[in-house]
């Protein structure tokens, strides 16, 4: 049985895996994955799975062999907690309070520090690339540079040094030149709360060692529809000419946040879903850096992951994983997870199931009638109907249900894609399948096997591939049978048939996201 709240071990020394099957000879590089790994320190423990201190895993594929290692992210949060032998840095779902055994004076200091708090650098959500550097990230203003080969923790970088960004997404996009685009929120900066899309240039010459973040620049800003409650978002979409941003009615209440520590509640209690409100869809023209004039909206929804966005014949099409409410977050409370995986559990809480949905935004500027559906694409049932006030009410098409953690062949980002690789979820907090979705036919292919829990499916294209799905899919698989080994699984991306597996002696952990770094890059 897999125990979510048990601290996971690190195995920093590389260990060769036992291979069955044959790895393609062109597949050379390192898959780095990250997620929460430490859930309690001394007598204290985190409330929520996302709060856990970050643990990285890597699988280095070289000359037909695979070596594995894992290491905790040794950021300031990790060091402070370990030194104090208790959790002293607050996370989204866990507020850290002074040791009750401490004297009144040091308690007072801790309170003062929280009035203008310094946020956590426990970056356990994703591994991203800026220029030639790799960073572990969560959604605070801090990111941590890592050495993707040794998994050592390097410099702490503060976005706030370069732009006023208090929360920043962990899912940037990249253009063909390697420039990164990402999005953050500035809270009450110069009395304004706004979302900012920024660019981190790739950097030009190989000898230049200045961190590329020094050159980051704001591309455009979108004012929040409500000054004191910016929406939460986890990713966004990008095509050649547009950015897609979903301003959903899942909002951070800033006033509540400012007083959370004193009120003795965690920050996530200040994040609220408002089902009575609608969701605004912002389309920003990358050339003019302005929003298009047409206003798009849809019903209340919660989206974490964008799949892809592309332009087609006067429309912007985008696919996302959408929920009816914010229950995903509640599902990952560690107490809740304990109940969910126990088959005898009496928990009957309802959790919204993730669905892959397609939205279509017509790029119309010509006259059209009220009540007209402006979506003219033949291949989708998604609609966008003009309302009296000129706004377009968008209804999505459901492509597939019970799927999360979408990945595509990234060469198709911003372009019309056909295939999406996902994890399939049955028992809500657990993925039991890898799913390949053909968005053209809506057919799915699956890989599944008893007792195995795969992680996010990372697609890697065969060099010089012509077809979109010519390549492999990598996933690390937890073996839930006591004493048996987990493995890196290599699937043929066309058929989703197993090509090889690399069994590792070390303990694998459930995680969030991963990134494949081809050898020599």
Structure tokens at 120: 């956590």
Q: Please identify, using beta-carbon distances, which residue of 143 and 280 lies nearer to ligand RRX.
A: 143
If one asks whether residue 423 binds ligand RRX (CB under 6 A), the answer comes out as: yes
Question: Nearest-CA neighbor of 322 among 284, 273, 363, 283?
Answer: 273
- Residue 141: CB minimum distance to ligand RRX, A: 6
- Residue 323: CB minimum distance to ligand RRX, A: 9
If one asks whether residue 374 binds ligand RRX (CB under 6 A), the answer comes out as: no
3-class DSSP state for residue 456?
Answer: coil
If one asks whether residue 234 binds ligand RRX (CB under 6 A), the answer comes out as: yes
Structure tokens at 247: 């301003």
Judged by CB under 6 A, the chain residues 81 through 140 that form the site for ligand RRX are 91-92, 119-120, 125, 138-140
Burial class (CB in 10 A: 0-12, 13-18, 19+), 431: buried
Q: Please identify, using beta-carbon distances, which residue of 65 and 223 lies nearer to ligand RRX.
A: 223
Write phi, then psi, for 139 (nearest 5 degrees).
Answer: -130, 15
Confirm or deny that 234 is annotated as ligand binding: yes
Judged by CB under 6 A, the chain residues 386 through 415 that form the site for ligand RRX are 404-405
- Residue 321: CB minimum distance to ligand RRX, A: 7
- How many residues are there in the chain? 521
Q: CA 251, 255, 257, 261: dihedral to nearest 10 degrees? A: -160
Member of 135, 242, 267, 421 binding ligand RRX (CB under 6 A): 267
Stretch touching ligand RRX by CB under 6 A, among 17-25, 69-77, 281-289, 423-431: 423-431
Question: Nearest-CA neighbor of 45 among 55, 33, 34, 36?
Answer: 36
- Residue 79: CB minimum distance to ligand RRX, A: 17
Confirm or deny that 306 is annotated as ligand binding: no
Member of 77, 94, 166, 279 binding ligand RRX (CB under 6 A): 166
CA distances from 268 to 140, 169, 250, 271 (A): 13, 16, 11, 5
If one asks whether residue 430 binds ligand RRX (CB under 6 A), the answer comes out as: yes
Q: What are the contacts of 348-352 at 24+ separation with CB within 8 A?
A: 351/327, 351/428, 352/302, 352/323, 352/324, 352/325, 352/327, 352/328
d(CA 32, CA 215): 26
If one asks whether residue 167 binds ligand RRX (CB under 6 A), the answer comes out as: yes
Confirm or deny that 171 is annotated as ligand binding: yes
Under a CB-based contact definition with an 8 Å cutoff, are residues 248 and 233 in contact?
yes
- Residue 121: CB minimum distance to ligand RRX, A: 10
Confirm or deny that 68 is annotated as ligand binding: no
- Residue 404: CB minimum distance to ligand RRX, A: 4
- Residue 306: CB minimum distance to ligand RRX, A: 12
Member of 306, 392, 512, 516 binding ligand RRX (CB under 6 A): 512
Member of 136, 257, 473, 488 binding ligand RRX (CB under 6 A): 257
If one asks whether residue 30 binds ligand RRX (CB under 6 A), the answer comes out as: no
Burial class (CB in 10 A: 0-12, 13-18, 19+), 356: buried
Member of 198, 304, 419, 487 binding ligand RRX (CB under 6 A): 304
If one asks whether residue 504 binds ligand RRX (CB under 6 A), the answer comes out as: no
Under a CB-based contact definition with an 8 Å cutoff, are residues 69 and 14 in contact?
yes
If one asks whether residue 261 binds ligand RRX (CB under 6 A), the answer comes out as: no
Structure tokens at 158: 């503060």
CA distances from 259 to 111, 200, 264, 271 (A): 11, 34, 9, 13
Stretch touching ligand RRX by CB under 6 A, among 106-114, 173-181, 209-217, 426-434: 426-434
297 C-beta neighbours (distance < 10 Å), count:
17
Stretch touching ligand RRX by CB under 6 A, among 105-113, 378-386, 394-402, 422-430: 422-430
3-class DSSP state for residue 18?
Answer: strand
Q: Please identify, using beta-carbon distances, which residue of 294 and 455 lies nearer to ligand RRX.
A: 455
Number of residues that bind ligand RRX (CB under 6 A): 29
Question: Nearest-CA neighbor of 454 among 12, 33, 61, 25?
Answer: 33
Burial 248-260 (b: 16+ CB within 10 A, else e): bbbbbbbebbeeb
Q: Please identify, using beta-carbon distances, which residue of 285 and 324 lies nearer to ligand RRX.
A: 324
Q: Please identify, using beta-carbon distances, which residue of 296 and 453 lies nearer to ligand RRX.
A: 453
If one asks whether residue 510 binds ligand RRX (CB under 6 A), the answer comes out as: yes
206 C-beta neighbours (distance < 10 Å), count:
7
Under a CB-based contact definition with an 8 Å cutoff, are residues 518 and 82 in contact?
no
Q: For tokens 């856990």, name the residue.
A: 52
What is the C-alpha end-to-end distance of the chain, expressed in Å?
38
If one asks whether residue 336 binds ligand RRX (CB under 6 A), the answer comes out as: no
Query: Given the rule CB under 6 A, which residues bind ligand RRX?
Result: 50, 91-92, 119-120, 125, 138-141, 166-167, 187, 234, 252, 257, 267, 304, 328, 404-405, 423, 425, 429-431, 453, 510, 512
Positions at the binding site: 171, 234, 305, 513
Positions at the binding site for Fe cation: 171, 234, 305, 513
């Amino acid at each position: 049985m897999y125990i979510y709240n048990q601290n996971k071990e690190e195995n920093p020394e590389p260990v060769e895996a036992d291979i069955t099957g044959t790895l393609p000879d062109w597949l050379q590089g390192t898959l780095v994955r990250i997620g929460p790994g430490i859930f309690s320190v001394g007598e204290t423990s985190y409330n929520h799975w996302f709060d856990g201190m970050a643990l990285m895993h890597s699988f280095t594929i070289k000359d037909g062999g695979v070596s594995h290692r894992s290491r905790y992210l040794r950021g300031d949060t990790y060091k402070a907690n370990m030194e104090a032998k208790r959790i002293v840095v607050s996370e989204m779902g866990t507020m850290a309070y002074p040791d009750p055994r401490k004297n009144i004076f040091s308690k007072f200091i801790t309170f003062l520090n929280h009035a203008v708090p310094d946020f956590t650098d426990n970056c356990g959500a994703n591994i991203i690339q800026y220029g030639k550097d790799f960073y572990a990230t969560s959604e605070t203003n801090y990111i941590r540079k890592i050495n993707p080969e040794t998994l050592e923790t390097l410099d702490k970088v503060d976005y706030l040094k370069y732009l006023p960004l208090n929360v920043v997404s962990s899912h940037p996009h990249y253009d063909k030149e390697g420039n990164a685009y990402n999005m953050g929120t500035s809270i009450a900066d110069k009395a304004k709360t706004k979302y900012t899309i920024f660019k981190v240039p790739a950097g030009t010459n190989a000898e230049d060692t200045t961190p590329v973040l020094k050159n980051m620049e704001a591309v455009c800003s979108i004012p929040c529809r409500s000054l004191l409650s910016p929406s939460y978002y986890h990713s966004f979409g990008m095509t050649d000419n547009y950015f897609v941003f979903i301003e959903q009615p899942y909002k951070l209440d800033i006033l509540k946040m400012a007083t959370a520590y004193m009120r003795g509640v965690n920050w996530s209690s200040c994040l609220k879903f408002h089902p009575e409100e609608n969701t605004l869809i912002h389309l920003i023209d990358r050339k003019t850096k302005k929003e298009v004039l047409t206003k798009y909206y849809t019903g209340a929804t919660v989206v974490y992951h964008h799949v892809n966005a592309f332009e087609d014949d006067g429309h912007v099409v985008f696919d996302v994983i959408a929920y009816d409410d914010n229950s995903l977050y509640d599902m990952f409370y560690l107490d809740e997870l304990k109940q969910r995986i126990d088959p005898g559990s009496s928990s009957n809480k309802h959790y919204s199931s993730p669905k892959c949905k397609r939205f279509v935004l017509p790029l119309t500027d010509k006259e059209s009638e009220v009540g007209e559906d402006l979506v003219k694409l033949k291949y989708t049932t998604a609609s966008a109907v003009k309302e009296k006030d000129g706004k377009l009410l968008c209804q999505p098409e459901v492509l597939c249900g019970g799927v999360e953690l979408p990945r595509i062949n990234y060469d198709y980002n911003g372009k019309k894609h056909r295939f999406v690789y996902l994890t399939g979820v049955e028992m809500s907090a657990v993925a039991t399948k890898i799913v390949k979705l053909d968005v053209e036919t809506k057919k799915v292919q699956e890989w599944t096997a008893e007792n195995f829990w795969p992680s996010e499916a990372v697609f890697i294209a065969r060099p010089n591939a012509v077809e979109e799905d010519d390549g492999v899919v990598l996933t690390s698989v937890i073996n839930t049978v006591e004493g048996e080994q987990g493995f890196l699984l290599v699937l043929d991306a066309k058929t989703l048939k197993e090509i090889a597996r690399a069994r590792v002696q070390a303990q694998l952990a459930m995680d969030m996201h991963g990134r494949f770094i081809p050898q020599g890059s």
